[in-house]
Chains A and B, each alone.
Chain A
Amino acid sequence: MKKTARPGRLAYAIATLAVGTILPTQVALAQDAPAAETPAPETPAPAAKTLPTTPVTPSPPEPPITPPQVLHTVAPTTPASDGGFGEVSVELFVVVEEDGRIGAVSVARSAGDAFDAAAMKAVRQWQFAPAQRGNVPLSSRIRVNVDFKAPEAEPDAAESDGAAAVAVTSPSSPPELPAKAAPASEEPAREVIIEGERTSRNEGRTASDFHIGRSVLAAAPRQEGAEVLRSAPGMYIGRGEGPAVAHNYMLRGFDAEHGQDIEFRVAGLPINLPSHIHGQGYADLGFLIGDTVQELRINEGVSDPKQGDFAVAGSVDLRLGVEQRRRGVQLRSSYGSFNTFRQLALWAPPEASFETFGAAQYTSTEGFGENRAGQSGSAIFQHRFGEGELSYRAIGILHTARADIAGVVRRDDVESDRVCFTCVYPYATARAQGALSQRFLIGLFADYEDAEGASGQLGAWLGYDNFRLQENFTGFLHESQTLARVAGLGDLIEQRNSTLSLGLSGHYRSSPFRPTSWASVTLELGAEGRLDAIDQAQNLLDAAVRNQTWDRRIDASVKGVDLGVYGELDWSLTDFVRWRIGLRADLLSYEIDDRLGNFAPLSRPQDAFIPGFRRSALGLAIGPRTSLELRPLDWLSLLAAYGEGYRSPQARLLENGESAPFTKVHSGDVGIRITQGDLLRLSLGGYLTRLSDDVAFDASEGRLERIGRTERLGAVAHVTSRPLPWLVGSVSATFVHATLLEPPPASAEEPQPPFQAGQSLPFVPPLVVRADLGAERTFVPSLAGRPFAGRAGLGLSYLSSRPLPYGDFSDPLSLLDASAGLSWGPLELSLEIFNLLNAEYAAVEYSFPSDWDPDDGVRPRTPARSTSAGAPLSWMLSLGVTL
Chain B
Amino acid sequence: MDAFFGGDAVNWNAWQGAVCLLCSVSCANTGRNEVTLPLFLAGTDVSTPLMSVGDIPVRITRADLAFGPLYLCAGNTAGDLCDTARLEWLDTAVVDTTSVTPREVGLLMGVSGPVRSWMSDLGISSQLTRPEPYVLEAAQQLDGSSFVLEGSADVNGVNITFSANVPIQQNDETELGVPVIRQSSEPNFHELTGRESGLTLHFDPSAWVSRIDFRPYAQGCTSTNGCLEPLILTPDSEAYRSLTIALMTTGRPHFEWHDAD
Partner of B87, one of A754, A856, A862: A862
Distance A752 CA – B188 CA, assembled complex (angstroms): 12
In the complex where A738-B26, A752-B113, A839-B7 touch, is A849 in contact with B136 (Cβ < 8 A)? Answer: no
Please determine whether B114 and A485 come into contact, CB atoms closer than 8 angstroms: no
| B110-159 interface (Cβ within 8 A of A) | 110-114, 116, 125, 127-131, 134-136
Closest Cβ–Cβ distance, residue B52 to chain A (whole Å): 34
Enumerate chain B residues within 8 angstroms of A739, measured Cβ to Cβ.
29
Please determine whether A748 and B129 come into contact, CB atoms closer than 8 angstroms: no
Enumerate chain B residues within 8 angstroms of A810, measured Cβ to Cβ.
5
In the complex where A752-B113, A807-B30, A858-B125 touch, is A863 in contact with B76 (Cβ < 8 A)? Answer: no
Partner of B19, one of A738, A759, A812, A854: A812
Closest Cβ–Cβ distance, residue B133 to chain A (whole Å): 8
Enumerate chain A residues within 8 angstroms of B7, measured Cβ to Cβ.
814, 837-841
Distance A831 CA – B26 CA, assembled complex (angstroms): 40
A-B contact count (CB 8 A): 184
Please determine whether A811 and B30 come into contact, CB atoms closer than 8 angstroms: no
Enumerate chain A residues within 8 angstroms of B131, measured Cβ to Cβ.
485
Stretch at the interface among B10-18, B53-61, B206-214, B246-254: B10-18
B32 within 8 Å of A (CB atoms): yes
Please determine whether B29 and A758 come into contact, CB atoms closer than 8 angstroms: yes
Enumerate chain A residues within 8 angstroms of B77, measured Cβ to Cβ.
748
For B125, the closest partner residue in chain A by CB is A857
B82 within 8 Å of A (CB atoms): yes
Enumerate chain B residues within 8 angstroms of A421, measured Cβ to Cβ.
4
In the complex where A756-B31, A756-B32, A767-B23 touch, is A857 in contact with B136 (Cβ < 8 A)? Answer: yes
Closest Cβ–Cβ distance, residue B235 to chain A (whole Å): 23
Enumerate chain B residues within 8 angstroms of A755, measured Cβ to Cβ.
31
Stretch at the interface among B42-50, B67-75, B160-168: B67-75
Please determine whether B6 and A812 come into contact, CB atoms closer than 8 angstroms: yes
Q: Quick one: CB contact mask for A462-504 with B, threshold 8 Å, 1 for yes?
A: 0000000000000011110000010111000000000000000
Interface centre among A489, A740, A803 (most CB of B within 10 A): A803
A214 within 8 Å of B (CB atoms): no
Enumerate chain A residues within 8 angstroms of B114, measured Cβ to Cβ.
751-752
A735 within 8 Å of B (CB atoms): yes
| A743-763 interface (Cβ within 8 A of B) | 748-752, 754-756, 758-760, 762
For B26, the closest partner residue in chain A by CB is A766
Distance A837 CA – B74 CA, assembled complex (angstroms): 43
Distance A120 CA – B257 CA, assembled complex (angstroms): 87
Partner of B84, one of A767, A800, A814, A861: A861
In the complex where A754-B113, A758-B29 touch, is A748 in contact with B90 (Cβ < 8 A)? Answer: no
Please determine whether A488 and B127 come into contact, CB atoms closer than 8 angstroms: yes
Partner of B128, one of A476, A803, A861: A476
Please determine whether A766 and B31 come into contact, CB atoms closer than 8 angstroms: no
Please determine whether B31 and A751 come into contact, CB atoms closer than 8 angstroms: no
B228 within 8 Å of A (CB atoms): no
In the complex where A767-B22, A807-B111, A837-B9 touch, is A861 in contact with B71 (Cβ < 8 A)? Answer: yes
Enumerate chain A residues within 8 angstroms of B87, measured Cβ to Cβ.
862
Distance A207 CA – B4 CA, assembled complex (angstroms): 38
Distance A842 CA – B1 CA, assembled complex (angstroms): 14
Please determine whether A750 and B129 come into contact, CB atoms closer than 8 angstroms: no
Enumerate chain A residues within 8 angstroms of B5, measured Cβ to Cβ.
411, 810-811, 840-842, 867
Please determine whether B19 and A800 come into contact, CB atoms closer than 8 angstroms: yes
B106 within 8 Å of A (CB atoms): no
Please determine whether B30 and A803 come into contact, CB atoms closer than 8 angstroms: yes
Please determine whether A759 and B128 come into contact, CB atoms closer than 8 angstroms: no
Closest Cβ–Cβ distance, residue B178 to chain A (whole Å): 10
Q: Quick one: CB contact mask for A332-371 with B, threshold 8 Å, 1 for yes?
A: 0000000000000000000000000000000000000000
A855 within 8 Å of B (CB atoms): yes
Enumerate chain A residues within 8 angstroms of B218, measured Cβ to Cβ.
none
Partner of A806, one of B23, B26, B29, B32: B32
Please determine whether A735 and B22 come into contact, CB atoms closer than 8 angstroms: yes
Interface centre among B29, B86, B125 (most CB of A within 10 A): B29
A325 within 8 Å of B (CB atoms): no
Distance A855 CA – B6 CA, assembled complex (angstroms): 32
A674 within 8 Å of B (CB atoms): no
Distance A803 CA – B71 CA, assembled complex (angstroms): 25
Closest Cβ–Cβ distance, residue B106 to chain A (whole Å): 12
Please determine whether B82 and A749 come into contact, CB atoms closer than 8 angstroms: yes
In the complex where A766-B22, A807-B34, A809-B30 touch, is A841 in contact with B6 (Cβ < 8 A)? Answer: yes
Closest Cβ–Cβ distance, residue B37 to chain A (whole Å): 13
B81 within 8 Å of A (CB atoms): yes
Enumerate chain A residues within 8 angstroms of B83, measured Cβ to Cβ.
477, 700, 749, 849, 861
Please determine whether A737 and B25 come into contact, CB atoms closer than 8 angstroms: yes
Distance A739 CA – B29 CA, assembled complex (angstroms): 9
Please determine whether B6 and A751 come into contact, CB atoms closer than 8 angstroms: no
Partner of A766, one of B23, B109, B116, B130: B23
A801 within 8 Å of B (CB atoms): yes
B33 within 8 Å of A (CB atoms): yes
Please determine whether A855 and B85 come into contact, CB atoms closer than 8 angstroms: no
Please determine whether A749 and B81 come into contact, CB atoms closer than 8 angstroms: yes
Closest Cβ–Cβ distance, residue B5 to chain A (whole Å): 4
Closest Cβ–Cβ distance, residue B29 to chain A (whole Å): 5
B65 within 8 Å of A (CB atoms): no
B176 within 8 Å of A (CB atoms): yes
B177 within 8 Å of A (CB atoms): yes
Closest Cβ–Cβ distance, residue B200 to chain A (whole Å): 20
Please determine whether B31 and A759 come into contact, CB atoms closer than 8 angstroms: yes
A859 within 8 Å of B (CB atoms): yes
Distance A856 CA – B91 CA, assembled complex (angstroms): 11
Enumerate chain B residues within 8 angstroms of A849, measured Cβ to Cβ.
83-85
Please determine whether A860 and B90 come into contact, CB atoms closer than 8 angstroms: yes
Closest Cβ–Cβ distance, residue B34 to chain A (whole Å): 6
Q: Quick one: CB contact mask for A268-306 with B, threshold 8 Å, 1 for yes?
A: 000000000000000000000000000000000000000
Enumerate chain A residues within 8 angstroms of B96, measured Cβ to Cβ.
none
For B194, the closest partner residue in chain A by CB is A807
Please determine whether B69 and A760 come into contact, CB atoms closer than 8 angstroms: no
Please determine whether A854 and B111 come into contact, CB atoms closer than 8 angstroms: no
Q: Quick one: CB contact mask for A383-418 with B, threshold 8 Å, 1 for yes?
A: 000000000000000000000000000010011000
Partner of B29, one of A760, A762, A812, A867: A760
Closest Cβ–Cβ distance, residue B110 to chain A (whole Å): 4
A808 within 8 Å of B (CB atoms): yes
Enumerate chain A residues within 8 angstroms of B29, measured Cβ to Cβ.
739, 756, 758-760
Closest Cβ–Cβ distance, residue B13 to chain A (whole Å): 10
Closest Cβ–Cβ distance, residue B189 to chain A (whole Å): 12
The 4 closest A-B pairs by CB, nearest first: A839-B7, A857-B134, A488-B129, A488-B128
What are 18 A-B interface contacts by the 8 Å CB criterion?
A476-B129, A479-B128, A488-B129, A738-B26, A749-B83, A754-B84, A754-B113, A760-B29, A807-B31, A807-B111, A811-B12, A812-B12, A812-B15, A839-B6, A839-B10, A854-B128, A858-B134, A863-B111
Listed in ascending order, the chain B residues whose CB lies under 8 Å from chain A are 1, 4-7, 9-10, 12, 15-16, 19, 22-23, 25-27, 29-34, 69, 71, 74-77, 81-88, 90, 109-114, 116, 125, 127-131, 134-136, 176-177
A487-B129, A749-B82, A807-B30 are known; give 6 further A-B pairs, CB within 8 A: A489-B129, A754-B113, A800-B19, A806-B111, A854-B127, A859-B69
Listed in ascending order, the chain A residues whose CB lies under 8 Å from chain B are 411, 414-415, 421, 476-479, 485, 487-489, 700, 735-740, 748-752, 754-756, 758-760, 762, 766-767, 800-801, 803, 805-814, 837-842, 848-849, 854-863, 867
